Structure 1
């Protein structure tokens, strides 16, 4: 079944002023929506990053795909490798580790692979999870993703969450999120305030939500010594501590001195990082992400590697829409070795490009859609509206640091600051 036409539509959707080690989210998050049309009226959808550098790499490959068989995934990867050659993207916002040719190819290929699998599912009348080997679970559990945040973007009215800058406000936002979505585990994006304030916040969450597993992710804001101290003070309440300090070497130092499992999506970001990290015993949990690990099948291969070496597996999230969530649900459902609830930014968005109703959170989990392919379809009006957002907002890349300087003039990223 060959591809007859393929389009890429950049979109922008409203994003709250969420704080992290690099700064604060801008008013819009960017994504790229791929629509693949094939013979016999079959179509496939994909979603990935929306910054211009990434979209430019995707556009280089698009002309090569017309006429390609959507069932030939090895051939698809060869096309991507041939076209991109030595291209290397950069990690513009500094939160998912460095880039390499391998990671660039994996990221671009992943977008096309998801669309091909969606098209395959429609062609044979089966969900993508079935194409990946069948369901290990019927619903995929997610964790509440808590952020410190400002109450409003510059010059805008306060949003529905309001400011979240204290442990008390953080607990209130967690109650709001848990009440609406039923999450049974909680993750805090840290690295924003001094470690003692974030320790206090985790203890406040533990007191307010007894029995809920807790995670803290400071995005490498601490030195190894500080990371060891924080882990010691929180070892009774943390499920895992994510990327407390930069690099495999730093993580190994911390891991050797704490019983708290260390997780990462920053120091192990492609297969070249796996051997040195596992040999150094630097991590206990790997956060996969099909957007930059090379797609859904590569995510499953990664899970087998983790299981073989006794490493836990969860799933990283960035600001995303419904096509990405559907892909995450299908691959997580078809991956037996998924040992922790997955991350998602879903509660922070107010707009989408898919027809509502296909993906619903119940008790913190999303059931695998039963329809063919990913089980979601484009809302044409919504896609047009979010594309117009993209055209009007003027953003072409994510830059948390520069936007933060509108709030704090002399702001510098907090990596390894404390």
Structure 2
């Protein structure tokens, strides 16, 4: 089996104005859909970010894949390192962390290669990753403060404005009622810390048995984080990225027993070693889109196990191909210790046959078919590609988008 062609299709998906410490989501989020064609008629699927830098790197890489054996992942890496030696990162300047273009492109193409491998031998991807330890994966409800969407031209709003603790609790009730989530995570760093403390306390009152987390995306200084921890002692399952940078996280960790998690401070394998040495974090979030693909996530899990750290799973706004990859990785990660993150309930469209999957009790079954176990709905891909061309959004810029809602907004991290 050899690769004969790789097609990369950028798509735009209607989004809603979900807030974070650096800004707010735009009217659409961007994804790249990958179809890896072979000389035996099989097509492997992948999905990754769709913003300008990722798309440019994918387009640079694709011509070098002719004749690739999808089973030879080391050759895939070698080819990409040759064509992307100086590609830099993929994230916009307003992002709080960056991911190497070569890692993001490799991750997307490895996803497609694993899909092909599984299809060729009739086995699911999780078997290729060492075997499944679970056939259902639990997710947590991902809560956001949000604005009411101003322009509905490109897609609908969900829930309207949610900018107070009480409104956020109502949002959580919707999440739990509709999807059955058994844990909840708040994207913090949006309101003043005292209001976010109030929000978490009200969530605990409304959901006494749900594990709770908050992720302020580095919005707090160490003293502020310590004050929040003191107020939320016994409430939080863990605290994710309260402070920005390894030094600040290590300083905070030395002063608290609260488990600290990250997907901003530790995004490279070398940083796992440093974080373990300094005891800066106790939980690392995996993600098959930048941790060198599904196989990289399995390696991450083993490194964390050996260093005494735990593993959770990160999410960006995504569609059904990515969801399938996340499920296979989660199924094959023995030390996945927490419910996974997912933006999926905030998405109103999908690109896979059968449309959006429905959570049952906050969980999804792991696909059992060959490869990733999903097929593209080509009409849906074409519709979202047309939206990409119509929306004229080529890059993610949460900070500039925030000016539409708060004209005097200034990006500042840490903010409190």
TM-score between the two structures when normalised by the length of structure 2: 0.97
Partner of residue 275 from structure 2, selected from 274, 277, 280: 277
Q: What does residue 109 of structure 1 align with?
A: 106
Partner of residue 294 from structure 2, selected from 293, 296, 303: 296
> CA offset at residue 95 of structure 1?
4.6
Asked if the contact 2:16/2:158 (under 8 Å) is kept, the reply is no
Q: What does residue 152 of structure 1 align with?
A: 149
Deviates more, 1:155-164 or 1:288-297: 155-164
Asked if the contact 2:17/2:24 (under 8 Å) is kept, the reply is yes
Q: Is 1:20 matched up with 2:20?
A: yes
Deviates more, 1:351-360 or 1:271-280: 351-360
The Cα offsets for residues 241-266 of structure 1, whole Å up to 9 and x where unpaired, read as 10001101100111111111010000
Partner of residue 169 from structure 1, selected from 152, 167, 170: 167
Q: What does residue 44 of structure 1 align with?
A: 44
> CA offset at residue 271 of structure 1?
1.2
Secondary structure in 1 aligned to 2:75? helix
Take 1:96 and 1:290, find their aligned partners in 2: how far apart are those partners?
19
Secondary structure in 2 aligned to 1:266? coil
Give the aligned length.
415
Q: What does residue 88 of structure 2 align with?
A: 88
Q: What does residue 384 of structure 2 align with?
A: 386
Partner of residue 178 from structure 2, selected from 177, 180, 202: 180
The Cα offsets for residues 225-282 of structure 1, whole Å up to 9 and x where unpaired, read as 1011101111211000100011011001111111110100001111121222111111
The Cα offsets for residues 206-226 of structure 1, whole Å up to 9 and x where unpaired, read as 010111000000000011110
Take 2:412 and 2:185, find their aligned partners in 1: how far apart are those partners?
19
Asked if the contact 1:17/1:25 (under 8 Å) is kept, the reply is yes
Take 2:173 and 2:81, find their aligned partners in 1: how far apart are those partners?
46
Q: What does residue 365 of structure 1 align with?
A: 363
> CA offset at residue 200 of structure 1?
0.2
Q: What does residue 138 of structure 2 align with?
A: 141
Take 2:96 and 2:178, find their aligned partners in 1: how far apart are those partners?
29
Take 1:93 and 1:27, find their aligned partners in 2: how far apart are those partners?
19
The Cα offsets for residues 31-69 of structure 1, whole Å up to 9 and x where unpaired, read as 000001112211110000001111111111101112111
Secondary structure in 2 aligned to 1:341? coil
> CA offset at residue 309 of structure 1?
1.2
Q: Is 1:235 matched up with 2:220?
A: no
* Superposition RMSD in Å: 1.4
Secondary structure in 1 aligned to 2:399? helix
Q: What does residue 254 of structure 1 align with?
A: 252
> CA offset at residue 310 of structure 1?
1.2
Q: Is 1:315 matched up with 2:313?
A: yes
Asked if the contact 1:22/1:93 (under 8 Å) is kept, the reply is no
Asked if the contact 2:138/2:340 (under 8 Å) is kept, the reply is yes
Structure 1's 357 and 30: CA in aligned 2 closer, same or farther, altered over 3 A? closer
> CA offset at residue 98 of structure 1?
3.1
Take 1:291 and 1:155, find their aligned partners in 2: how far apart are those partners?
29
Asked if the contact 1:96/1:265 (under 8 Å) is kept, the reply is no
Asked if the contact 2:14/2:156 (under 8 Å) is kept, the reply is no
Secondary structure in 2 aligned to 1:291? coil
> Which runs of 5 or more structure 1 residues have no equivalent in the other structure?
none
Secondary structure in 2 aligned to 1:123? helix
Q: What does residue 344 of structure 1 align with?
A: 342
Q: What does residue 120 of structure 1 align with?
A: 117
Asked if the contact 1:285/1:312 (under 8 Å) is kept, the reply is yes
Asked if the contact 2:54/2:90 (under 8 Å) is kept, the reply is no
Deviates more, 1:142-151 or 1:103-112: 103-112
Asked if the contact 2:214/2:239 (under 8 Å) is kept, the reply is yes
The Cα offsets for residues 122-164 of structure 1, whole Å up to 9 and x where unpaired, read as 1111111111111110111111000000121347697231111
> CA offset at residue 414 of structure 1?
3.7
> CA offset at residue 353 of structure 1?
0.7
Take 1:269 and 1:350, find their aligned partners in 2: how far apart are those partners?
29
Q: What does residue 128 of structure 2 align with?
A: 131
Q: What does residue 395 of structure 1 align with?
A: 393
> CA offset at residue 104 of structure 1?
2.2
Asked if the contact 2:21/2:219 (under 8 Å) is kept, the reply is yes
Give runs of ≥4 in structure 1 deviating > 6 Å. Answer: 155-158
Secondary structure in 2 aligned to 1:32? strand
